[in-house]
Amino acid sequence: DCEAENVWEMGGLGILTSVPITPRVVCFLCASSGHVEFVYCQVCCEPFHKFCLEENERPLEDQLENWCCRRCKFCHVCGRQHQATKLLECNKCRNSYHPECLGPNYPTKPTKKKKVWICTKCVRCKSCGSTTPGKGWDAQWSHDFSLCHDCAKLFAKGNFCPLCDKCYDDDDYESKMMQCGKCDRWVHSKCENLSGTEDEMYEILSNLPESVAYTCVNCTERHPAEWRLALEKELQISLKQVLTALLNSRTTSHLLRYRQ
């Protein structure tokens, strides 16, 4: 039986021949060479076709020189391969660890729904950037290891930008944000590409008439949004006023040049 699982159990697929042949490099799983490059296990040095490996077993681009096959995976803490417990594999770096080698309080099981597990080297809160779940001894990672304890509480309250998913405190008065007139979510001005002249655009937006309501990208049915058209119109009017003032000013008259 040449199914992949059985080949792993057998220790590779053999080649039978009735005449002597020169040994050649063939894939551990399919016993053929083909015209594609192999990836080699750093421990057993066996060659593999990428397409013969399961998707979650294939090496990442930066791991081609230090990749381990399924048979040779080892714990990146103690260096041993097999113990009583099964190795956990990080969904980001693909490194493996024994649950008992992770230290106290760190999750030793993948998440229930998406079966995600992230190692201590790769885990980071996508909102605040913290590499620890929190200050308390009982703090845990949430949302598939993507949010720390404090940010998860803010997220549950709805205190997050719907465009970048970053959380904000109730007393955050420093960040430039707008409230969507439909979903009532607060959105960062930079997430709406009000960059470059962000301060000016944000100021003009806050002074638009109440009849022109801001709606976020997720809630806008027709693009460009009405508020964005009004914003650009107001910006052009302001620029014309500045140019007119410069043209009529005596202090800038020497800057004007005319050609016949």
pLDDT tens readout for residues 134-164: 988 889 999 999 999 999 999 999 999 999 9
Q: Tell me: the pLDDT tens digits for 25-49?
A: 888 888 888 888 999 999 999 999 9
Q: pLDDT-based confidence at 241, cuts 50/70/90?
A: confident
- 227 with 220: CB under 8 angstroms? no
Q: What count of Cα atoms within 13 Å lies in the side-chain half-sphere of residue 207?
A: 11
In whole angstroms, what is the distance from residue 49 CA to residue 32 CA?
9
- 15 with 25: CB under 8 angstroms? no
Q: Provide the residue type at 61 as one letter.
A: E
User: E strands of 7-122, at which residues?
Assistant: 39-40, 47-48, 88-89, 96-97
Topology of the domain comprising 1-68: Herpes Virus-1 (3.30.40)
- Output b/e per residue, 122-154; b: 16+ Cβ within 10 A: ebbbbbeebeebbeeeeeebbbbbbbbbbbbeb
Q: Tell me: the pLDDT tens digits for 88-111?
A: 999 999 999 999 999 888 999 999
Q: Which residues contact 156 (CB under 8 A, 6 or more apart)?
A: none
β-partners of residue 186 are 179
- 81 with 96: CB under 8 angstroms? no
- For residues 82 and 57, which has the higher predicted lDDT (pLDDT)? 57
Q: Provide the residue type at 54 as one letter.
A: E
Share the mean pLDDT of the chain.
85
- 226 with 219: CB under 8 angstroms? no
Q: What residue segments make up the domains of the chain, in order of their start?
A: 1-68, 177-249
User: What is the structure's pLDDT at 48?
Assistant: 93
Q: Provide the residue type at 254 as one letter.
A: H
What values do phi and psi take at 230, rounded to 5?
-65, -35
Q: Could you tell me the two tokens for 64?
A: 């081609």
Mean pLDDT for the stretch of residues 111-118: 93
